Structure 1
Amino acid sequence: MIITIDGPAGSGKSTIAKMIAKELGFTYIDTGAMYRAVALKIKRSGVDPDDPLSVVKVLQSTQIDLIPSENGVKVFLDGEDVSGLIRTEEIGKLASKIARHPQVRKILVRMQRKLGEKAKNAVLEGRDTGTVIFPDADIKFFFTASPEVRAERRFKELKEKGININYSDILKEIKERDLLDETREDSPLRPAEDAVIIDTTGKSLQQVFREVLQIIKERSRLH
């Protein structure tokens, strides 16, 4: 079974995808982490992220591995564990920028499909898992929440990690990333026609988890 969860940054999709995968014993695949890993390599290499040919050239000599861990997944870039390094706002924004290049998406989508097919039972989360990577997925979800709520969640998360950042800066970053993701010509961020839309605004993680799990159980019985 393939389950996909798409949505913008801070909508709760990553946490819920990990929880669902753990509950069902499925493989968790974080597609966004792959774009972030490429973004980190682009930053390190000094390549212009707006030049698709240069980005593709870097990507062609890049090895990205997603290794299951207690916290969901560890991300390895050319053999280096970059799980923590790729989670900054700067890398997130850069990932959205390089994700606009169709050639980059084509290569990564191929890699992501292989991961899902190899796993057989998987929960994929990202921005186009139900529309492009697995359009025939068994169950598709699309999470949403207001930009203000998503910024507040991110603000609390960073504060707990001891990172000082202004809420207004995070809100600005989130709105900028939404614009990049929603307006790109290739695979823009949008719900699949048959996706279950879940607004996580005002809901606890446990509430969303129970809601998603209930839908999966109901849909599984129908299959």
Structure 2
Amino acid sequence: MRITISGLPGSGTTSLGKALAQDLGFTFISAGEVFRACAEERNMDLAAFGRLAESDPSIDRLIDERQKEIGMSSDDIIIEGRLAGRMIENADLRIWLTASPECRSKRIAARDIQDGDTATAVTIERERSEAQRYRTYYGIDIRDLSCYDMVLSSERFGRESVVMIVKTAINDLLNH
């Protein structure tokens, strides 16, 4: 089974992916973690690395192609990334997590040890940069959620509830 998890920064995609992978014994692949690692390797923060990616399409393409290659050729895998649901053509379940900008900014501030205003500004810039790159590189409007099987609020439902809801959907798919 191939499951993709997508959502905007701070929506809980990595938390959900890791929890499901652990519970189900699946492999977990995260495009966001790869992107962060690449930024750190270049001693850049995410905003600066995002701006570099705007002028160097090879950065996104490398991450996206690698994720696509792994996801499409693997079984029992969870692929987390903003474009995973669009890139993994043979996915069995595509999930998009939502949360308000305020909720996501608070999560990002807590995760990255920033004040709320800085987290909000960085999040807005990151989303703008990513949306522009996805339009330019792939012709994708990130706001179009029509390809997803589930759109679920990680703000309305807590982490454990989101995991239970998704596991219920997975069990249903496995039994039909």
TM-score norm. by structure 1 comes to 0.68
Structure 2 residue runs without a partner (length 5+): none
Matches for 1:184-195 after TM superposition, within 5 Å? 184=133, 185-187=136-138, 188=140, 189-190=142-143, 191=145, 193-195=147-149
Distance in 1 between residues matched to 2:13 and 2:22, nearest whole Å: 14
Structure 2 counterpart SS, 1:186: helix
Structure 2 counterpart SS, 1:15: helix
Residue 175 (str. 1) matches residue 124 (str. 2): yes
Work out which of the residue numbers 100, 103, 107 in structure 2 matches 1:153: 107
Computing the radius of gyration from Cα coordinates, the structure with the larger value is: 1
Number of aligned pairs? 170
Cα pair 1:140 1:192 within 8 Å, conserved: no
- Tell me the amino acid that sits aligned with residue 40 of structure 1: E
Work out which of the residue numbers 137, 143, 155 in structure 1 matches 2:91: 137
Cα pair 2:72 2:89 within 8 Å, conserved: no
Structure 1 residue runs without a partner (length 5+): 45-89
Distance in 2 between residues matched to 1:96 and 1:218, nearest whole Å: 38
Instruction: Give the drift of 1:193.
Output: 1.6
Distance in 2 between residues matched to 1:217 and 1:95, nearest whole Å: 39
Residue 93 (str. 1) matches residue 42 (str. 2): no
Identity of aligned residues (%): 26
Alpha carbons of 1:96 and 1:215: their partners in 2 closer, same or farther (altered >3 Å)?
farther
Q: Cα RMSD over matched residues?
A: 2.1
- Alpha-carbon displacement from aligned partner over 1:132-182 (angstroms, at most 9, x marks no partner): 2x0221100011111101112223334xxxx4x321111111111111122
Structure 2 counterpart SS, 1:152: helix
Distance in 2 between residues matched to 1:104 and 1:24, nearest whole Å: 31
